[in-house]
Each structure stands twice: as C-alpha cells, then as structure tokens.
Amino acid sequence: MTTPALLPLSGRRIPTLTPGVSSFPHHRATLRLSEKFILLLILSAFITLCFGAFFFLPDSSKHKRFDLGLEDVLIPHIEPGKEGKHNAGQIIIHGQGGHDEHRHKEEEESLRDKIRADHERALQEAKEKLRKSKDELKAEIQTEKTKVAEDLKKKDGPKPLPPVPMPKLVGVNDGDPGDPDTKEKRDKIREMMKHAWDSYRQYGWGHNELKPLAKKGHSTNIFGNSQMGATIVDALDTLYIMGLHDEFKDGQEWIEQNLDFSVNAEVSVFEVNIRFIGGLLAAYYLSGQEVFKVKAVQLAEKLLPAFNTPTGIPWAMVNLKSGVGRNWGWASAGSSILAEFGTLHMEFVHLTYLSGNPAYYEKVRHIRKLLAKMDRPNGLYPNYLNPRTGRWGQHHTSVGGLGDSFYEYLLKAWLMSDKTDTEARKTYDDAIEAIERHLIRKSNGGLTFIGEWKNGHLERKMGHLTCFAGGMFALGADGSPDDKAGHYLQLGAEIAHTCHESYDRTVLKLGPEAFKFDSGLEAVAVRQNEKYYILRPEVIETYWYMWRFTHDPKYRQWGWEATQAIDKYCRVSGGFSGVKDVYSSNPTYDDVQQSFFLAETLKYLYLLFSGDDLLPLENWVFNTEAHPLPVLHMANITLPGSQNQG
C-alpha cells in the first residue's frame, strides 16, 4: 500500500497517512471540518471491516447446532457465487454425515476470502477519495451535508415553507373615513360584525355555521359532515381589518389547536378553496402569522387528488381522507362546473408562491390550456364540462350561479400578476365581449340586465349572484381593449343601478335571489322560491367597487340602506338570519347565518365606509369570497413550475 501524497485542502495540508498508524489524534484540535470528514470516512471504513470480521467469523455454537442434525434440513444451502441471495427457491435438503467438517472448513475459508476482499475494497475506496480534487471533495461534502440536513428536516415534521416578502400590513387606524357621519356608520357595521361573531362564538363555535334562532351549529353539504369552523376561517380577515384583535386571536387559537383536515368528509373543492384556503391566505398576508400559511398548504394538499381525472379538470367534491372525488348528482351529464374548476387560479398561484410546490400552479395552468383549446358556442363558455371526456355538457351560460367567478378570476389573475398575465386578460376580454353580445340587454323600463343563455335562447332573468358583475366591469375597465374603459365603467354603473332597483322594489329593501325582466315585470322575483335573501354580498360588493372608482355618494347611500335593512329584518338575538320572502312585511327566517355574511357582506360594507387607503386596489386583489390577496410582482418572481409551461 502506498502512502497518499499530500493534498491541498481549503488552503491547508493534511498530514501523511501511514496505513495502520493514524496521525489523527495529534492533529485533531487543528483540523478543519472537511478534513475531519475524510479522516472520519477512513476510520469508519476500518470500523466496518472489524465489525464485518466479527460477524463473519465462524461461530462454534453453530457447529454444535449443525451436529444436532436438525437444522440440516432447514439451513439454506448457499451455492458458490450466490452468497446473500437466500430465497425459498434455493433451499436444498441435505442428508446428515461426515461431510460437515469438510464443509465448515470450506465455509471458513470462503469467509476469510470475503473479509480480505472487503478490506482491499475499503482501502481502495479510501485511496480514491484522497486522490480526488479539492473541488470534488468539497462538492461531495456539501452533498452529504445537504442530505443530512434534509433528513433532519423530514424527521422534525412538516417542511418549513420558504420565507416570502410581506405586503404592507393594515393598521387599525387605516381607512379612517374622516367625517364623523361616515365613521358612525362604519362603527355600526363593526358592531354588527361583533354581534355575528359573538353569537357564533357562543352558540356555534367550531361548527361550520350558525343557526341563529335555534342557537346551535349548522352545516351544509358543501362541507360534507366536517366540523371545520368555516365561519372562523372565513371571518378572520374581516376581524383583522376591523381591528377586532381579541376575536382574531381567539379564532387563531382555535385554528392552531383544532383545525384538522384528516377528516373523513366529502367537501366541495371550490368552496373549500375560496373560503378556507382564501381565508387562511388572507389571514396570513394580513397578520404575518405562519400558522395560517402552513394550514393553507396542508389543506391544499388534501384537495390535489380531486385533479386525478382523465382530463385534469377536477371533481366538484373530494373526500379529504380517502382522496376519492366525484361530481354533483344534479350537474348535467356528470359534469364539473365552470365556476368551480375555474375559480382556483388566484389561490393556487399563491400556494405555489408560498410553498415552492409547483403542483398548484401546474393544475390551474393545465385547466386554462385545456379551455383555450376548446370550441366555444357563440364565443360563450358553457357552465358544464365533463371531466372524463373533456366535452361540454348542456349549453347553458351564466354570469351568475355556475359561471360567475370563472370570469372574475380571469380578470383577477391578470390584476394579481401585476398585469403581466396578458393571456388571462385577453381571455377575459373575449369572454366579456361574447357575453355583451348575447346576454346583456336593456329592459323596456331602461334597466340593463344580464340574462342566462340556455341552448340558444336568452332567459330574461338575473340572479342576485350576477350582481357582482357590476363591480367586475368597473374593476376591468382600466386595461380594456379599444379604449373602452368608459364603456365598462358605465356598464358597471348600470348593473349597480339595476341591482339596487331589485332591492328597492321589495318590502324589506333587500334583494331577492332572482328577478325577471318579462311581461311588464322588471327587477322583481316572480316565483316564490326566488324571493329569499340569504345575507348575500354581491350587490354591496358592486356598490363598493363603484364607490372606489367613482366616489359617487349614491353608492354609500345605497350601502347604508342595505345595512339598515339587514339590521332591521335579519338581526335576531342569536346573530343574523336570512329571510324567506323579501316581499313580505312579516318574513320568516331561514335560520342560517352564512359564513360569507362575515367574510363578504360585512367586509364590503365596512370598506364602503372606509377611506381608500384601507386595502388599496393597486396592492390587493380580493378573491371571490372577499379575501384580499396581495398583487404578486411577477416581473421579479419566477413561480416554481412556470418554466415548464407553454
């Protein structure tokens, strides 16, 4: 064996090594980490050899046992050259007899050969290590260090998420409207939020929603049979924005201690995304509390199996425990719903941004690419798409239920990308152009409305849900093609006016679920089952956007009318309830305090009576559940996975 030459390592030299005579002890104090590493490697090779020798040397007890002759029929016979490959197929039954001694000698000899060979190999490896260049050794050491660090991280539970720059936080004094009258109105809205929250805290804590009359918890099929505190998660950012910090902390504590997603519950992917993931992300961005980010990512992982369909268009529902997905029984031909699979983009981009996991971004990119390739009847997107075949279901198009937030998220994807996602903007512009052509009309009484397209026929009916579009048109005005900004702002104002009329033409001054523009009836509900108001936000949402873009005082006035009506007709001692008939002076309650009442309705009202410095639209984009997410300055950010996308 040769003595290794002196090798330069990190500007130092390691001492000459004579095999068998280690110089290690004399230099231990002065050696560097990398040098120690190599020496340690050699030492461990020798220790391995000694260990090997200890184990491979023949054991006299075995001889005795062989002599008993019992194991002779059970001990596997190892054919030369096949050491270590013990398997049932190689067990050979031997007879007893005088071959034993001879066989043991042979075995001893073969073991010694093996030890010698191992010894040679270990020394050879050690020599090769020492012959390597400084850079090669450094690289090896670094790889080993990284591996050890990663193993440690894995052992310590969930992987820490990468740090991200936080946007400007919202302070309690931010958004002070200045004049005392507006401030008083804002305080009233804050008080309503407190009543809604305190009631839920007292009677429904931990349940998804509240029954304010029965004074107990409530849940619907969108959350399966889970008890995931939907109201807590949905309300958090509103509490934060309103400066209700004790309530916020209370909610945070519940989330830290109780919010668990390993539940055997079949939930709506869309609802969980907009309410839970959106709510958690917004709470994280506003408060900076890591727990919200971690929970959002944990939950998102549970939604990923929903995308395991032949097309990648997700199922409407997924079981959080088993990952099994399926679609709503009522949806046309087993289809997924446009407004559901098309309302994931904002949250999923943020999830990739925050977690470094490209999967989320890839899922929503895939959906967008698939939709871009499809034919659109009359340029319109049908509400139904089959996730197995990739074909449209019934040709129904709506800017209300089943379609609404798909269009909203195209526009908001563009805004949220700091206007760099021009593909999203173009898709939005094309879709809106087709909607204007086929769905938007003026009634005889001069009210602009958005109807529903059903198999080539326009139904002259507009939903409460559709009223959000007034705000969307205003938000998308700037940046619209052919300098049509004025046109879209005007369209937003017209929709706001129509929706206000739908409120004003009722007894309670609250809007019905759907209203017609037919046979002399305008902006009123005809069917009994369309006369309810379930604390929905869309009309107030549009007032708020219109206020931000025009500062026309009528929007605050309309918002105040709605606030008073809600307080008068929906408030009960146990919270706020929806009402079944807005045309009746003596309405019955539906006994549900929806989580979106705290997430959206009260938040938009509060913002309507706040200054524009509270969550400026240049910096924040609201998801469809009114959870504010910061604009990502994509010119300076590369999303993991985005390089692989076309």
Contacts with 95 (C-beta within 8 Å, 6 or more apart), sequence order: 72
Query: Which residues lie across from 450 on neighbouring strands?
Result: 440
Tell me whether strands 384-385 and 336-337 are parallel, antiparallel or unpaired.
Answer: antiparallel
Query: Which residues lie across from 201 on neighbouring strands?
Result: none
Q: What is the dihedral of CA 303, 411, 361, 265, to 10 degrees?
A: 0
Which residue, 379, 296, 294, 398, is CA-closest to 338? 398
Quick check: 353 and 300 in contact, CB under 8 A?
no
Q: How many Å apart are CA 331 and CA 206, to the nearest integer?
A: 31
Provide the minimum distance between the beta carbon of 137 and ligand DMJ in the complex, in angstroms, as a whole number: 58
Which is closer to ligand DMJ, CB of 219 or CB of 355? 219
Which is closer to ligand DMJ, CB of 346 or CB of 491? 346
Provide the minimum distance between the beta carbon of 465 and ligand DMJ in the complex, in angstroms, as a whole number: 6
Quick check: 578 and 590 in contact, CB under 8 A?
yes
Which is closer to ligand DMJ, CB of 505 or CB of 536? 536
Provide the minimum distance between the beta carbon of 357 and ligand DMJ in the complex, in angstroms, as a whole number: 25
Which is closer to ligand DMJ, CB of 201 or CB of 464? 464
CA 6 vs CA 31, 231, 477: distances in Å: 14, 69, 73
Q: How many Å apart are CA 164 and CA 356, to the nearest integer?
A: 10
Which is closer to ligand DMJ, CB of 362 or CB of 600? 600
Backbone angles phi, psi at 418, to 5 degrees: 60, 35
Q: How many Å apart are CA 52 and CA 111, to the nearest integer?
A: 10
Which is closer to ligand DMJ, CB of 392 or CB of 468? 468
Q: CA quadruple 269, 271, 277, 281: dihedral positive or negative?
A: positive
Strand stretches in 189-324, DSSP E:
209-211, 216-218, 266-268, 317-319
Residue 397 counted as an annotated binding residue? no
Provide the minimum distance between the beta carbon of 520 and ligand DMJ in the complex, in angstroms, as a whole number: 29
Residues in the chain: 646
Which is closer to ligand DMJ, CB of 412 or CB of 536? 536
DSSP symbols for 171-191 = PTTTT---SHHHHHHHHHHHH
Backbone angles phi, psi at 71, to 5 degrees: -70, -15
Tokens of residue 233, six digits: 């998660």
Which is closer to ligand DMJ, CB of 371 or CB of 534? 534
Quick check: 24 and 39 in contact, CB under 8 A?
yes
Q: Taking the chain, what is the end-to-end CA distance rounded to the nearest angstrom?
A: 58
Provide the minimum distance between the beta carbon of 541 and ligand DMJ in the complex, in angstroms, as a whole number: 8
Provide the minimum distance between the beta carbon of 538 and ligand DMJ in the complex, in angstroms, as a whole number: 6
Q: Which residue has the tokens 């054991």?
A: 59
Residues that bind ligand DMJ (CB under 6 A): 405, 465, 536-537, 596, 600, 624-625
Provide the minimum distance between the beta carbon of 208 and ligand DMJ in the complex, in angstroms, as a whole number: 13
Kindly list the catalytic residues.
271, 404, 513, 538
Q: Give the residue closest to ligand DMJ by C-beta.
A: 624
Contacts with 275 (C-beta within 8 Å, 6 or more apart), sequence order: 230, 233, 234, 595, 596, 599, 625
Provide the minimum distance between the beta carbon of 290 and ligand DMJ in the complex, in angstroms, as a whole number: 26
Residues at the binding site for Ca(2+) are 624
